[in-house]
Amino acid sequence: MVTTPAVSGHHSEGHITEVTQVLRYLFTRGAAPAAIRRALAAAVVAGSALGLLLIRRHGDRTTTAVTGGHVTVLGAFGLYALDVVIRADRARTAARNEAAASHNQLQKLIDNSESNIYMKRVDNGQYLLVNKSWERLFGVPRHRVVNLTDHGVFPAELADQLRANDLQVAAAGKSVQYEETADGVDGLRTYISVKFPVLDTAGRPYAVCGISTDITDRKRAEDEVRRLNASLETRVLHRTAELEASTKELDAFAYSVSHDLRAPLRSLHGFSDALLEDYGDVLDDVGKDYLHRLQRNVGRMGRMIDDLLNLSRATRAELERCEVDLSAMSQDVVADLRAVDPDRSVTLIVPDGLTAEADPHLLRLALQNLLANAWKFTGKRAEAIIEVGRAVHCGETFFFVRDNGVGFDMSYAGKLFDAFQRLHTTADFEGTGIGLAIVARVVRRHGGRIFAEAEIDQGATFYFNLMSGEKGKP
């Protein structure tokens, strides 16, 4: 006689495993069908996990049905019954393992987030999971909080608010985002929170998930930036007022100096003319040479005053941009130069259609100085050529003024655009050393840049644009 092992009567997860063990024991010992029926009946009565089990002997059409604790014998038992139970057991075990692995992966993922993450049931408000950040913030370990509600974690008033908010999110069926504050060990903390419903397979919300990110440091940084900006704006206003006052003083000084210097210069020029006219017959050649030198220097001083005023104007004049015909402006400037020096033979090359968005007064000031330089430094050429055009250099569009004059040594190019810097002596070429500084100021005021290329006795080319980084075709 074969003794049947006892079958546990509780509804545990190991129920199917126990049934499998019982059937394996009975079949391997050749138990009678009656013993197997009693074991199956006891198993079904002990728990509903088996449901309906159809057992069919291999190769036989007869079956035995076991359901709800009632056993109806329709035929003999076979080893096939054991295979069915074992397969069911393995499938359920695999499903449980997969679910456990998915849960562990989810838990690891949220545990590595710095945000506070939790999930609560909709029907009773119980916590389903929390992450480590949530535990650290509220000081409640997850093994205690899971299966508790907010009333088991927070004060009653706050718990009621949280429960009502969860129900609103579930009823709305969509995520909500809001900013909230909470007390922390270092003062009030600010969080940006998102809540959204979690739906079941039927599309009904069964849980609410919340993610709260601490933005306290960011908010404090933003407040500090706003404070610094306000302070900076105040300082800028003070500095701007000081600069405006200083600029007005400089303007007044410049015009005062201009007026006060021009009066004695005019007097010097007038009296030297009177000496030459009234006493020229009693002066020897040396005396006359002295007076001529005096008049030349008076003229040079006058031009220097004009240049300094132009430099001041190029620095502080308000820009009023409009479309300027650079071709026509170049023709006008050269026409003025021809009128002053009609004996010169100079070929001017200027294509039609050169236009620029610029302040017309400042641009004319720059062109006057560039073309006057070209005119001056081609003075020793029998066939002087001055060209105005446009070209692309390293992807940027530049205007240029080119001449075939004396040129200069490029090792000194860094000094070109500084005031009072000269690469040629006054004896060879007259000038104040301010013209190119004026040009550079005008170009920079327009947001552009300027540079030069030259060779000694091979002429020079000055490139400039009126907005740095301009793209275009020549």
Q: 433: domain CATH number?
A: 3.30.565.10
354 lies in the same domain as 456:
yes
342 lies in the same domain as 416:
yes
pLDDT at 367: 92
- The yes-or-no verdict on residue 194 having pLDDT over 80 is yes
Which residue type does 6 have? Answer: A
pLDDT at 432: 56
Q: Is residue 403 part of a domain?
A: yes
Query: How much helix, strand and coil, in percent to the nearest 5, is found in the chain?
Result: 50, 20, 30
373 lies in the same domain as 437:
yes
Going by the DSSP 8-state scheme, the letter that residue 154 receives in this structure is S
- Look up the pTM and report it: 0.44
Q: Is residue 275 part of a domain?
A: yes
Structure tokens at 422: 């000269």
Of 282, 316, 350, the residue at which a domain comes to its end is 316
Residue 363 CA to residue 323 CA, distance in Å, equals 11
- pLDDT one-digit tens code per residue, 65-90: 443 333 333 333 434 454 555 566 66
325 lies in the same domain as 299:
no
Q: Is residue 157 part of a domain?
A: yes
Q: 368 or 56: whose pLDDT is higher?
A: 368
Q: Is residue 472 part of a domain?
A: no
Q: 210: domain CATH number?
A: 3.30.450.20
Whose CA is closest to 23, among 79, 77, 78, 82? Answer: 82
**β 384-393/346-349 pair status:** parallel
134 lies in the same domain as 201:
yes
The pLDDT mean for the chain works out to 75
Mean pLDDT confidence for 355-383: 88
- pLDDT one-digit tens code per residue, 275-297: 888 888 888 888 888 888 888 77
pLDDT band at residue 59 using 50, 70 and 90 as cut-offs: very low
Of 214, 247, 271, the residue at which a domain comes to its end is 214
194 lies in the same domain as 279:
no
156 lies in the same domain as 287:
no
Q: Is residue 7 part of a domain?
A: no
The answer to whether 335 touches 372, Cβ cutoff 8 Å, is no
Provide the percentage of residues in the chain whose pLDDT is more than 70.
Answer: 68
Q: How would DSSP label each residue in 186-234?
A: TEEEEEEEEEEEEE-TTS-EEEEEEEEEE-HHHHHHHHHHHHHHHHHHH
The dihedral through the CA atoms of 43, 44, 50, 52 has a sign that is positive
75 lies in the same domain as 190:
no
The domain in which residue 390 lies consists of 319-464
Q: Is residue 184 part of a domain?
A: yes
172 lies in the same domain as 235:
no
Q: Is residue 106 part of a domain?
A: no
122 lies in the same domain as 253:
no
Q: 428 or 357: whose pLDDT is higher?
A: 357
- The yes-or-no verdict on residue 153 having pLDDT over 80 is yes
The answer to whether 420 touches 294, Cβ cutoff 8 Å, is no
Q: Is residue 141 part of a domain?
A: yes
328 lies in the same domain as 446:
yes
Q: 309: domain CATH number?
A: 1.10.287
323 lies in the same domain as 292:
no
- The yes-or-no verdict on residue 34 having pLDDT over 80 is no
Whose CA is closest to 4, among 33, 30, 36? Answer: 36
- For the chain, the domain total comes to 4
Of 196, 214, 232, the residue at which a domain comes to its end is 214
